[in-house]
Structure 1
Amino acid sequence: MLQSPAFASSRPVVLLPYQPRWAEEFTALAGRLHALAEPWFQRLDHIGSTAVPGLAAKDVLDVQLTVADLTQIPPLLQALTGAGYQLRPGFQYDEFADLPADSLDLRKVYLREPAGQRRLHLHVREAGRFNTRFALLLRDYLRAEPAASRVYAQLKERAAALFPASIAGYLYLKEPGFYLLYQAATRWAEQTGWELPGDAR
């Protein structure tokens, strides 16, 4: 078993086969977020592996709130934190090869679910930025290309098998695959004329 002291103390990795309830849970969550924060965001999207039918995933919903300007969101954050969403200031940037770690194209605000609610990663990102587009492009590419989705699932399953007790190790092995997927998704977008999806409010 491939292990490293750097990954030894991390939490376990649990992948589930695709669960139809994930789409239903997102719909219910989206309704609550609309009621809570409707005036302060442009769109709300289900992203990540739980948004791709047939793809194995951790039982964690990833949601993207797109805003016009991350510097103008105190009212949105007040509404979210007032409802119990937990702001995690240590995660202010996504990571991606070839972009500086502090690039404005990777900036975000990250929150977790209110205490006692189902596991959630809430990513607040800015319209027009690379990371905002990346999340939607990758989701739509994997939805449209089952063969690519199957290979990505294999990568995730093998990473989980190598690091069953370490989410850090799992991510360390899996995340370079995002860069390869992005190259394929970019070519797919050019060939198909993909554009950012329409209104997701």
Structure 2
Amino acid sequence: MPGPAVLQPYDPAWPIRAAQLLAAVEQALKPLGVGQSFEHIGSTSVPGLKAKPFIDLQVRVRALPEPALLDQALAPAGFVPTTGSRPDSPGVYRDIPRGSEHESGQVPDEVWRKRLFVHDVDGPRGAILHVRLVASPWGRYTVWFRDWLRAHPQARDRYAAFKTATAAEHAGDADYDDYTLAKTAFFDEAQAEFEAWGRRS
């Protein structure tokens, strides 16, 4: 996905499109019997939050199927595997370990593995699908962070201001990998708060 990160105002059509795509993904994965949860995540899932116009979706699976089987299963739903913009693009085959479980050494390295797919990337209804293990803390963090932002408008607005400033800093980039990596600073600041909130909730 070339080009810098361009944020757009929240679009109420995003969750509708997300539900349509998730239904198609759930149907496509049924024969494999691995899908456990199907979720709309990321900024497009938070009402009132600016976002890149790519809908982030997540499937949490009990085990990652063989790559060829997973690719074949998702193709009818319009999703194809991606390698990212660069050879070292973050979050393609593995999430960057973080959070209290990582710091305490409770999470084995292999649970951060994942697969990344894209759908209609160059069109107006583009979507990104993250396939993560049920055991991966990242899968929980994405949902906790989403729900924390939904429940705390001040945090949502603080994140929106941070994203706007960060996108401006990287407006000349050839892709948005550095923008994505720069957002880590906000997660570093908010991790303990949304993680504690998520565990309570």
Name the TM tier (shorter chain): 0.7 to 0.9
* Partner Cα separation in structure 2 for residue 76 and residue 172 of structure 1: 27
Render the CA deviation track for 1:2-48: whole Å, top value 9, x for unaligned: xxxxxxxx622210111101011111112222232234311100000
- Residue 14 of structure 2 corresponds to 22
**Partner of residue 108 from structure 1, selected from 108, 114, 117:** 114
Question: How far has the Cα of 1:116 moved from its partner?
Answer: 6.2
Render the CA deviation track for 1:85-134: whole Å, top value 9, x for unaligned: 2212562111244759x922321011111576532111000112211111
Question: How far has the Cα of 1:52 moved from its partner?
Answer: 0.7
Aligned residues: 182
Higher mean alpha-carbon deviation, 115-124 vs 24-33, is at 115-124
Q: How does 1:1-201 map to 2 (within 5 A)?
A: 11-39=3-31, 40=33, 41-71=35-65, 75-81=69-75, 83-89=77-83, 91-97=92-98, 99=102, 103-114=109-120, 118-166=125-173, 167-190=176-199, 193-194=200-201
Identity within the alignment, %: 31
2:93, 2:114 within 8 Å by CA — same for their partners in 1? yes
Aligned AA for 2:142? Answer: A
* Partner Cα separation in structure 1 for residue 121 and residue 57 of structure 2: 17
Q: Pairwise CA RMSD of aligned residues?
A: 2.5
Cα pair distance change 1:114/1:164, threshold 3 Å: closer
- Residue 5 of structure 1 corresponds to none
Structure 2 length as normaliser, TM-score?
A: 0.79
Aligned AA for 1:24? Answer: I
2:28, 2:76 within 8 Å by CA — same for their partners in 1? no
* Partner Cα separation in structure 2 for residue 180 and residue 135 of structure 1: 15
* Partner Cα separation in structure 2 for residue 103 and residue 189 of structure 1: 23
- Structure 2 stretches lacking a partner, 5+ long: none
Cα pair distance change 1:42/1:189, threshold 3 Å: closer
Structure 1 length as normaliser, TM-score?
A: 0.79
